[in-house]
Amino acid sequence: MLHSAIGFEGAFSAPHRAASLAGRDILKAGGTAMEAMVAAAATIAVTYPHMNGIGGDGFWLIHRPNEGITGISACGQAAGLATPQWYENAGFTEGMPTRGGLAALTVPGTIGGWQKALALVPDEKRLPLENLLAAAIDYAENGIAVTGNQSQCTTDKLAGLKDVPGFAETFLVGGKPPETGARLYQKPLAETLRTLAREGLSSYYSGRLARDHAAFLEENGSPLRLDDFNAYEARFVDPLCVDTTHGRLMNMTPPTQGIASLMILALFDRLGVSEAEGFAHFHGLIEATKQAFIQRNAGLGDPDFMAEPAQNWLASDRLDALVAKIDPQKALPWPYDPAEGDTIWMGAADRYGNVVSFIQSVYWEFGSGLTCPQTGVLFQNRGAGFSLKPGPNQLAPGKRPFHTLNPAMAKLKDGRIIAYGTMGGEGQPQTQAAVFSRYAQFGQDLQAAITAPRWLLGRTWGEETTTLKLEDRFDPELVAQLKAAGHEVEMLPAYSDAAGHAGAVVLHENGLMEAASDPRADGLALTD
């Protein structure tokens, strides 16, 4: 029988053990969940560099006692020079570049998000920044043990990355992908983190680091300039929310796909499914996913450019109209071809009643691949999510691209606060739906809900086809039922990365905390 980690002093979940330990150490030192998350975010940027880094973006949902839930959108905007004409002049007319300097066209936002999160901690109670970054600096300076996940990813993606400036000298060992267990040093990144600890996080956007990065990016063909870094600031936002039978669900605003995650669970709630793990459970969530994704693909983008606020999509009458399109016995054909995506999700709760749901990413595996040798910073390729054609996600200066990232949170009717999420690009809303429905709706243990077999509609991390993919631990009879309903089924190995790296943290009204981590990743769930 699987059981979640439980305790009263603090809880942390991350897809890499080192990040969980870094977060737990800050909680034990009296820090808040926000401070613990910054420590873990810095650490996992070093120890899981194929999935995320300080050259990427991040998003936060933060529950504070008596303060409600606050969102932080640390999404970088397109460079001032980034226009469709600029890219046409560079030879791109049909789609955005995905690797190299031309793909590094949005300001990295995640450090700005760390700033906003720490600003919620009173100055007199805040731990020194050098304490928060100490573990990350140590790993970067003295080397990490390369995980099997990173080793395999480097091997799989090497052809498209090996010639990108800075990549080979930063992430290869002896000119080859590092083997599992190899020691990988990132000494320039250690010095960058020391600079941030010494000069403050704002130096990433206005200090020497900003100047060095702007010069390096321009030299390698990026449209980003120093003015873009100087002008950047993450935003506090009010999260989207929807009420269901089980409580209030919250997620991030556009340009993230948080709206899709909420729509899936709100539609599934309307189906009235009463039993877990059967055809109605999985078919219902899969068909709800299709309806949510159809709406998302038609109108989601930078909220400043959308036709209406995304919260309107969650109105009861509009959800009722969508759920009426779901056939409880038959699958809707699914031709949509989604984009790739790579990410880490982490969650934390502290003794003061704060709960954090956090996600950080460089988009594709190793992002753009472009890595500044002087600073060790790998730049994201989130701008590859823009379109050069007219529409809600068309490239424009200062615009924010569509994001698969979406940290989730819910307040259940019995008072529990649950922070949950996953990596997995297109799979994120689907994995969130699996975890939430199993835990909150059907009462499964938190760890069991995360460990249980999952599915994926479409293509995501490491996958090329757009079928319905099922881990091979599902009951063969259920698989046959789904096929008979018209689902085009493909089987995945047990505990496949394609099913995401999920995690969750729960705070109960009596102060009890639960944490769970995904066996598909290299992580750890810790409580005290």
Residues taking part in catalysis: 343
Quote the CA–CA distance of 442 and 433 in Å, as a whole number: 12
DSSP state of 458: S
* Tokens found for residue 269: 């709630």
Quote the CA–CA distance of 16 and 149 in Å, as a whole number: 11
Edge-first strand listing for the sheet containing 417-422: 5-7, 513-517, 502-507, 417-422, 408-412, 247-251, 240-244
Asked if 381 and 63 touch (Cβ cutoff 8 Å), the reply is no
Asked if 150 and 60 touch (Cβ cutoff 8 Å), the reply is no
* Tokens found for residue 496: 């496949």
Quote the CA–CA distance of 19 and 48 in Å, as a whole number: 9
Within 8 A by CB and 6+ apart from 325, the residues are 291, 332
Element (H, E) at 431: helix 428-436
Nearest to 420 by CA among 433, 431, 407: 407
Other beta carbons within 10 angstroms of residue 320's beta carbon come to 11
Asked if 489 and 468 touch (Cβ cutoff 8 Å), the reply is yes
